[in-house]
Amino acid sequence: MYRFDSLSEGSEESIASADVTIPGFDPSSVFLLEIDGPQLEKAKFKVDGKDVPLASGAVIAFERLSEAASQDLHDGRLRLVRSFENAFKATKTRVTLAMCKWAEFDGRISVRLQYQSTSSKATPQKVAPESLTVIGRPIGIVRRGVFCPVKMP
């Protein structure tokens, strides 16, 4: 299991290990991330017909990716991204989980990272798409040690 700061450093060393079965995925192709700050506490995943908030302490399962940020693949999608350049305001690390929205203004393309939070540090942030790598696609949430899948495009 990781936190934003351990993923930010590009380290393969996790903060803890967890024995969670994720059907349909090879263990090397998935990882867990504990949300350790306010940025998505107003966002919710549907699990067994109930809304589960993504508050601090929530553990999200991700399919491991390593893709250049792409409008065709990632526009309008919740993704875990790593910056080559700077720390994100919401996490104060080079990794964040946010909704990725592409925009063009004055001939320049940017990605607006949007959060669902009441925290003032989790305000939308514009970044250059070429500075981002998408490192994870959410596939579920772990509750009481049990993987609960969610449908995410």
pLDDT at residue 3 above 70? yes
Model confidence, pTM: 0.89
Render pLDDT for 73-118 as a digit per residue (tens, 0 to 9): 999 999 999 999 899 988 899 999 999 999 999 999 999 999 999 8
Q: What is the pLDDT of residues 10-51, one digit of tens each?
A: 655 655 666 788 989 998 899 999 998 888 888 889 888 899
Tokens of 153: 């495009």
What is the domain-level CATH number for residue 88? 2.10.109.10
Pairing type for strands 132-143 and 50-53 reads: unpaired
pLDDT of residue 7: 82
pLDDT higher than 90, residue 120: no
Number of domains making up the chain: 1
Q: Hey, what amino acid is at 85?
A: E
pLDDT at 144: 87
114 versus 119: which is more confidently predicted?
114
Q: pLDDT at position 13, please?
A: 60
- SS3 labels along 119-150: CCCCCCEEECHHHEEEEEEEEEEEECCEEEEC
Contact 30, 62 (CB under 8 A): yes
| pLDDT exceeds cutoff 70 at 139 | yes
Report pLDDT for 16: 60
Which domain covers residue 79, as residue numbers?
Answer: 4-149
